[in-house]
Chain A
Amino acid sequence: DTGVSQDPRHKITKRGQNVTFRCDPISEHNRLYWYRQTLGQGPEFLTYFQNEAQLEKSRLLSDRFSAERPKGSFSTLEIQRTEQGDSAMYLCASSGTGYSPLHFGNGTRLTVT
């Protein structure tokens, strides 16, 4: 088990472009979470999957954001028509059942110029 991995680690894009991030969770974990974190702040919840079902989406997640977990394994987070305010660290985490702790990846740092 290599933990949660995220790709890419860094992404620089121009405003208006689309970007897609990938997260590979710990293999036996059925829950997968996406968070966004800006400098000096705690992670803000974006969305959550249990297996392939997307169970909750934050109001922070505008229509430009979409997340999928097609086979209940890896997940992708796409941002369309990026804006400078989208610049942040995007963190993925996975967990088991009940109150299992979240295991985080090291994030994808997005910079929108």
Chain B
Amino acid sequence: TQLLEQSPQFLSIQEGENLTVYCNSSSVFSSLQWYRQEPGEGPVLLVTVVTGGEVKKLKRLTFQFGDARKDSSLHITAAQPGDTGLYLCAGTYRSRDSGYALNFGKGTSLLVTP
């Protein structure tokens, strides 16, 4: 099992602040995905990063994939209450039966207060 460690586990900030969430592993991943999950719903994909060193931006969210493809970060600028949720990173690897499997980290629970 290829493990992903996310930090911090919990984050409570005020509207307008910036934050960074980290996702680290000792394993190399073929690609890495970030999802956001709200209570009572399934995770929803935010971004996929494939190339080492890749940076992708989605409005106020900036995602970076480490050069060695073992780690990633998510930076949110000027957080808003609507950003509240569980942020999950997930790494893709080739499974034993040559399919593709996805392992999730435990997530970062973000609360943005007005």
A residues at B contact (CB < 8 Å):
4, 31, 33, 35, 40-45, 48, 50, 55-56, 91, 93, 98-99, 101-107
Q: Are B48 and A31 in contact (CB under 8 A)?
A: no
Judged by a CB distance under 8 angstroms, whether B75 is at the interface is no
Instruction: Give the residues in chain A near B50, CB-CB below 8 Å.
Output: 99
A-B contacts, 12 of them at CB < 8 A, read A33-B102, A40-B107, A42-B107, A44-B104, A45-B104, A55-B97, A99-B30, A99-B92, A101-B48, A104-B42, A104-B44, A107-B41
- Cβ contact within 8 Å between A93 and B107: no
Residue of A nearest to B4 (CB): A42
Nearest-neighbour CB distance to chain B for A106, whole angstroms, equals: 5
**Is A45's CB under 8 angstroms from B103's CB?**
yes
Q: Are A43 and B43 in contact (CB under 8 A)?
A: yes
- Are B43 and A56 closer than 8 Å at their CB atoms? no
Q: What's the minimum C-beta distance from B79 to chain A, rounded to whole angstroms? A: 20
Do B96 and A43 touch across chains, with their CB atoms under 8 A apart? no
Q: Are A45 and B42 in contact (CB under 8 A)?
A: no
Decide if B104 touches A31 in the complex (CB within 8 Å): no
Contact with A along B59-87 (1 / 0, CB 8 A): 00000000000000000000000000000
Kindly identify which residue among A43, A55, A56, A99 contacts B48, using a CB–CB cutoff of 8 Å.
Answer: A99
The one of A45, A91, A103, A105 that contacts B101, using a Cβ cutoff of 8 Å: A45
Q: Distance in Å from the Cβ of A49 to the closest Cβ of chain B?
A: 9
* Chain B proximity of A45: nearest CB distance (Å): 6
Q: Cβ of B97: which chain A residues have Cβ within 8 Å of it?
A: 55-56
